[in-house]
Structure 1
């Protein structure tokens, strides 16, 4: 089931069947992407454009599902059928939510890597250790644990009197069976202000050398991408920079020479 990870994961934020521009987690203000990118902001057309540019993996945030609505299966399935690796944040909340959403995209020919994001996942114990059902789910499908930040502070759906300590928490998650992690500071997403998690990624890689590690947010250039790769990331999420032809050309052309490992 494991396969090489593409160094770039092109980001698709989808809302009501449209591709939207995500900025700093302010979801109520997300708007459809400009029409000069594609004939209309259809996620499938945008994904095809990414693949034509040389992108080999997609990261999809289903904003309807994240905000408590139904999974956008009619939009997601065609993306899955493109045959490229696909990571999906569908706002998994708890076991019941997982059992409802997972079967809708359970396709043996096209494996989804499901994001379990700290911002929405509330089925953890008070110490943030995952429930037993997660271990069984990890034996059946691919899951990446997303550790969400906002301006450097960890965001969790489980109320905490004090901010959680990152590395002991990651040790708990690894003990449960997670071997794949996404660090994302929502405050810089879509802002073009540069990545915010480089130092944490470097520390994560040093402490947990065998994990798969992803990050992104605020990427402006090939140098920003390389900064996160040098910090130990196996792949980097890139969104807004791919919408600007000049930066997209530099990022994809520069990255295309990178050997997948």
Structure 2
């Protein structure tokens, strides 16, 4: 199992939201580059970055900070937030991003999402954020009516290879991942790569996800709140 350290960007700073609320923000580092350096020095060569401004405003706001991380450190970055069209995807890949995470676009602009899947199958990640069992989008402010099972099945038929799944009720809470959810997804859709996100609070959580053969996990608040060390995280990447 791969562990992927996370940086959430809001107004150019590294922050975390509590349960997706823009009213509950904790600033962890005013310099995203400084934070990314710590990850690289610990042995990580791939990180997860979310543009929280973009997720809410529908445009990619913090790209300069992400490009700086890529150019200065030479690490690969998967990113999401504010991606609404095929042109956005193409622009981000041209800017040096290794993978692009789309959630709102997959729901609101399915035509461009499917085109992106067709053109860049190895670089596209479906950001499937779940709120009360439904797929949430537009900064987690709206939910889709189509079921998770139906939507994923359709996307796999179009070439989907990778899903980053976040249980919003767990995000930023340090209450433990939704193991039942990830086990179910892995069982029902073994052909796709599952990245777990939300709720990780301890080394034990990582061990349980690894034992369940989850492909990867994004770790954010647990690291920032000193619940898990970078040394503990990076051992899963061997």
Query: TM > 0.5 between the two?
Result: yes
Q: TM-score under structure 1 normalisation? A: 0.78
Q: Does 1:103 align with 2:91?
A: yes
Among candidates 70, 73, 76, match of residue 66 of structure 2: 76
For 1:205, the equivalent position in structure 2 comes to: 186
Measure the CA separation in 2 of the matches of 1:159 and 1:19.
26
How many residues are treated as equivalent by the alignment?
A: 231
- Following TM superposition, by how much is the alpha carbon of 1:219 offset from its aligned partner in structure 2, in angstroms? 1.1
Deviations 1:100-122 (A, max 9, x none): 46415514xx442111115x644
The alpha-carbon distance between structure 1 residues 30 and 115, as it changes in their structure 2 partners (threshold 3 A), is same
CA-based RMSD:
2.5
Measure the CA separation in 2 of the matches of 1:172 and 1:224.
31
Name the one with the larger strand percent.
Answer: 2
Measure the CA separation in 2 of the matches of 1:215 and 1:151.
17
Among candidates 88, 95, 99, match of residue 113 of structure 1: 99
- Following TM superposition, by how much is the alpha carbon of 1:242 offset from its aligned partner in structure 2, in angstroms? 1.2
For 2:228, the equivalent position in structure 1 comes to: 248
Measure the CA separation in 2 of the matches of 1:240 and 1:80.
22
For 2:35, the equivalent position in structure 1 comes to: 46
Among candidates 11, 18, 27, match of residue 16 of structure 1: 11
Unaligned runs of 5+ in 2: none
Deviations 1:109-140 (A, max 9, x none): x442111115x64425xxxxx32x43332244
The alpha-carbon distance between structure 1 residues 49 and 254, as it changes in their structure 2 partners (threshold 3 A), is closer
Measure the CA separation in 1 of the matches of 2:92 and 2:103.
19
Q: TM-score under structure 2 normalisation? A: 0.85
The alpha-carbon distance between structure 1 residues 211 and 170, as it changes in their structure 2 partners (threshold 3 A), is same
- Say which one has the larger Rg: 1
1:210-225 equivalent positions in 2, closer than 5 A: 210-225=191-206
